[in-house]
Structure 1
Amino acid sequence: MKRADSTFVPALGFHRLTPLYDAVVGLTTREKRVKQALIAQAGLAPGLEVLDLACGTGTLAVWVKRQYPRLSMSAVDADPAILTLARRKADKAGISVDFAQAMSQALPYADARFDRVLSSLFFHHLSWEVKQRTARELFRIIKPGGQLHVADWGKPENPLMRSLFLFIQLLDGFANTGDNLAGRLVPLFEAAGFVEVTQARTFNTLFGTMALYSAVKPG
C-alpha cells in the first residue's frame, strides 16, 4: 500500500527486494523500539477492534496480537506479495490476524468499525492528495472516541538527520516525503476531523528522525 493513486510501489521499491524488507527495516529504522513505543502509546486492551494500516509483512500486527491476544486484529495492504509474507508470518506465530488487500483511500470496512488504527512508515509514500483522502477514510472507519496512532518520518532533529533523510527522499520521492519534513501530518489529521492531534516521541535513525503521532476521533 505504497503509492498515490490506483497503483502502489512494492516494499523497498522493487518486487525483487520484498523478501529483504524485514531485514532492511530492522537494521535501519530501530524497528523494535519504535513499534513497541507505538503499541504502548495506543493504550490497547482486550476486546478492542484494531487495524494495522499498510501492514507490510505483518510485524506490527503480529506483535500487537501476541501482546494482546484477546483483542480483534485486522491488517490491510495493497501489495499481494507482501500480504503473502504477512500471512505466513502470522501462521508461523500461531496468531490470528484478518488480512485484507485494499488501497488506503478505499478501505473495505464499515463506518465506525475500529477502536484503534495503527500505521508505521506509510504516510510518507503518499501524495498530499492521497494523504488527505486516506486521513478522511480513517476518520470514517474509526469509532467515535477511537484513536489513530502513526509512526513515520518527522522533522529532522538536527542537520545530520536531515542529511541522512536524503536517501529516503531519493528512494521514495521528494514531493511526498517533503510533507513529513515540513511537519504537515499534524494539520493533515486535524483537517480530516481528528482532535488532540500531537507529535509525541521522536527517534533518530540511520535514515532520519522518526516520530510518533496520535489523534482522536471526537466522541
Structure 2
Amino acid sequence: MAEPSARDFVPAAPQLWTYDALSFLLTKARRWRPALLAQLSPTPEDVIADIGCGTGTQLRLVARACPSATLIGIDPDAAIRRRAGAKLAGLTPAVELLPGYARNAADLLRGRGVTKVLSSLVFHQVPLEEKRAGLAAMRDSLRPGGSLHVADYGLQRTAKMRKRFRLVQKGDGFDNTEPNAQGVLPELMADVGFDRVEETHVFETVSGSMSIYRAVRG
C-alpha cells in the first residue's frame, strides 16, 4: 500500500527519541509489557502481528521469548518503523515491518495465517470509528481460533485515575481518548465479532489506568 501521510495519524511523540522514555515513565511499561507477553504466550508455530508496533519494543520481547515465531509489525509512521528496524536488526527469522493502519490489517495480512494479533498504546489515540474499523480488520486478519491481545488505557475506574488520565487527554485529544476512559474497548471487540472478550489485567500508572484485554476469533 502507499506510504501513509504524516498528517493522517498522531505521531508517537513530539520528538521520536522521547517515545520509549515517555512510555516507560508514564505507563509503568516494566509491569504491563511482561504481562502482555505472558498472555500472548508465543510458540514456534505462531504467526504474530503487532498492529501499531511503534519502535518494536514488544516485538523484541516476543522475539527473545520465542525466537522461532514469525513476527510482523505494522505502523503508519515511517520514522518510527526505521527505529523499529534498527532495534530488531539481526533477528532470525527477520521481523517484517509494513506501512499501514489498524484498519488495513486484514488486507496486509491476508493469507499469512496469523494466529495472534497484538496491539499496545494505539486505540486511545484514534477516533471511535477508527477503533471499530481497526478491531474489525484485526479480527478479519486472524485465523479462526486466533486470539487478540491489547494493552491500552481502559476504563478509568476511580477519581484518581480519571485525574491522572487528563495528562493523556491533553496530549492525544479528549474526543479520541474519552471512549477508552469510559471502557469502550471490550464493547467494540464484541460488536465486531470477537468472542470470549475479557479484561485480564489493570495497572494503575501516573497517567491513568492501563488495561490488558484478550479476545478470540470464533
What residue identity is the alignment partner of 1:201? H
Taking the aligned partners of 1:32 and 1:148, their CA distance within structure 2 comes to 21
Aligned to 1:48: 46
Q: How does 1:26-45 map to 2 (within 5 A)?
A: 26-45=24-43
The Cα shift of 1:136 comes to 1.1
In the TM superposition, what is the alpha-carbon distance from 1:63 to its structure 2 partner?
0.7
So what's the TM-score if we normalise by structure 1?
A: 0.92
Contact 1:62 / 1:97 at 8 angstroms: preserved in 2? no
Distance 1:160 1:92 in 2: 43
Partner of 1:142: 142
CA distance, structure 1, for counterparts of residue 72 and residue 79 of structure 2: 18
For residue 104 of structure 1, report the CA deviation from its aligned partner.
1.4
Sequence identity of aligned pairs in percent? 34
Deviations 1:144-198 (A, max 9, x none): 0000000000112321111010010011011111111111101101111100001
Which residue matches 2:128?
128
Confirm whether residue 80 of structure 1 aligns to residue 78 of structure 2.
Answer: yes
Query: Residue 198 of structure 2 corresponds to which residue in structure 1?
Result: 198
Q: What's 1:90 paired with?
A: 88
Instruction: Give the whole-Å Cα distance in 1 for the aligned partners of 2:120 and 2:144.
Output: 22
Q: What is the aligned length?
A: 212
Q: Secondary structure at the match of 1:11?
A: coil
Other structure's SS at 2:34 match: helix
1:96-152 per-position Cα deviation (integer Å, ceiling 9, x unaligned): 211111121113120573100011110111111111111111111001000000000
Give the RMSD, CA atoms, in angstroms.
1.8
AA partner of residue 197 (structure 2): V
Q: Please give the alpha-carbon distance, in whole angstroms, between the structure 1 residues aligned to 2:92 and 2:160.
A: 41
CA separation in 2, counterparts of 1:6 and 1:49? 31
Helix, strand or coil for the counterpart of 1:99? Answer: strand
- Please report how far the alpha carbon of residue 93 of structure 1 lies from its aligned counterpart in structure 2 after TM superposition: 6.5
Note the 1:59-74 alignment, pairs <5 A.
59-74=57-72
Q: For the structure 1 residues 132 and 6, does the alpha-carbon distance in structure 2 shift closer, same or farther, using more than 3 Å as the test?
A: farther
Corresponding residue for residue 154 of structure 2:
154
Q: Which runs of 4 or more aligned residues in structure 1 lie more than 2 Å from their structure 2 counterparts after TM superposition?
A: 92-96
Unaligned residue ranges in structure 1 (runs of 5+):
none
Q: Which runs of 5+ in 2 are unaligned?
A: none
